[in-house]
Structure 1
Amino acid sequence: MFKKFSPQGDIVSQVPIKSSVQRSIRLQILEQFPSIEPFIEDILPKKEKWILVKCHGHMNLISINYGQPVFFNLRTGPYFPSLRLLHAYPFLLPRLQVDKGAIRHILKGADIMCPGLTSAGARMDEQLSSNRMVGIFAEGKEHALAIGITKLSTSDIRNVNKGVAVENIHYLNDGLWKLSLGEQQS
């Protein structure tokens, strides 16, 4: 999703978010991520300036004080945490672990294949359905290297063991990771 993302070509506008809209966004995020409630004031502080960054392709980024985006969504779909936010709060998303061989492919934007999640060094500890938002971690690494959406359930990933298991949405060093917002941009 952010493989070829660039601020110059993809950002359409940056506008402050009204407090009434902030409340709505906050509620939606709390519904999606109930475990975040004790930390919500740190992540989405009420007293700070929230910025809606509109991008081509109906992508919306939520930033606080023109800082790094903390959440993003497509059209009116669910909110995804940014990878930086997932690094700070790794419990936000269910965790899937790939083997070391998959790391370089994922960091180039490739989807996560079933064998990368079923081989030695890989782990799928939770039973997950398809179309679930997940954090992709790597064998021997502390932080997530990608965020994706499961295309198959974890039981199907084990049984089929072929094809795409998780669609890669946002990964280390993609356009969103490198994005630096500033108040001077509009």
Structure 2
Amino acid sequence: MNVKVRKRYHLKKKKLREIKEGLGDYAGIIPDRATVEILETDDENLILVDGRPMVMLIDDKPFPTLKGALGTEIKKGYVVVDMGAVRFLANGADVMSPGIVDADPMIGENDTVIVVDEKHRKPLAVGISLMSGPEMVEKDSGKAVKTIHYIGDRIWNLEV
């Protein structure tokens, strides 16, 4: 599955500033001297930093892609899964509550989250929470996170 590109253009400084503000703790993934472009696709729009997809826009809210998150420390909006869940996430599965060992207690329903593994704390997927952080850890059945981007998907493999 390839990404169908509709438009590609450089970001204006004002829009870039808005995106950096929206990224909060992750603003560092867009260095000051980088070439920053927007890639409008049929699905979500992507922000290219020096030609690499580092940010995706979900409902016009910026969020780091997995490649963007790899270079930063994930302090907020994280969901930690046990190692048994890793192979399922690598195939694009949603995150189920039984596989969650920890989650940011500040996560609310419909928040965008980064799913990491418990051993290395490396990002595996980006998703939308279906329940609060404490609920994810407490429950022992059901979906907790709807996966929207994972290692090995079309965004991860995007070559520009």
Give the TM-score, by structure 1 length: 0.75
Gaps of 5+ in 1: 182-186
- The letter of the residue matching 1:143 is K
2:53 to 43, 61, 69: 69
Determine if contact 2:80/2:121 at 8 Å carries over to the other structure: no
TM-fit CA distance, 1:141: 2.2
User: Which gives a bigger RCO, structure 1 or 2 (Cα 8 Å, sep 6+)?
Assistant: 1
Contact 1:13 1:54 in 2 (8 A): yes
Are 2:112 and 2:126, in contact at CA under 8 Å, matched by a contact in 1?
yes
- C-alpha deviation, 1:169, in angstroms: 1.5
Written as runs of structure 1 = structure 2, the 5 A alignment for 1:96-175 is: 96-117=79-100, 122-175=101-154
Shift of residue 159, structure 1, vs aligned partner: 4.4
* Change in 2 beyond 3 A, CA 1:95/1:159: closer
Aligned residue-pair number: 160
Greater helix proportion: 1
Residue 25 of structure 2 corresponds to 35
In the alignment, residue 106 of structure 1 is paired with which amino acid? L
CA contact (8 A) 1:145 1:171 kept: yes
Question: 1 CA distance for matches of 2:48 and 2:68?
Answer: 11
* TM-score relative to the length of structure 2: 0.86
- The runs of 4+ residues in structure 1 deviating greater than 3 Å are none
| CA distance in structure 2 between the partners assigned to 1:100 and 1:36 by the alignment | 25
Which of 10, 16, 40 is residue 16 of structure 1 equivalent to? 10
Quote the Cα distance in structure 1 between the aligned partners of 2:16 and 2:75: 17
Secondary structure, aligned partner of 1:54: strand
Q: Quick one: distance in 1 between partners of 2:8 and 2:125? A: 25
Asked whether 1:83 is paired with 2:66, we answer yes
Identity of paired residues, percent?
Answer: 24
Q: CA RMSD in A?
A: 2.2
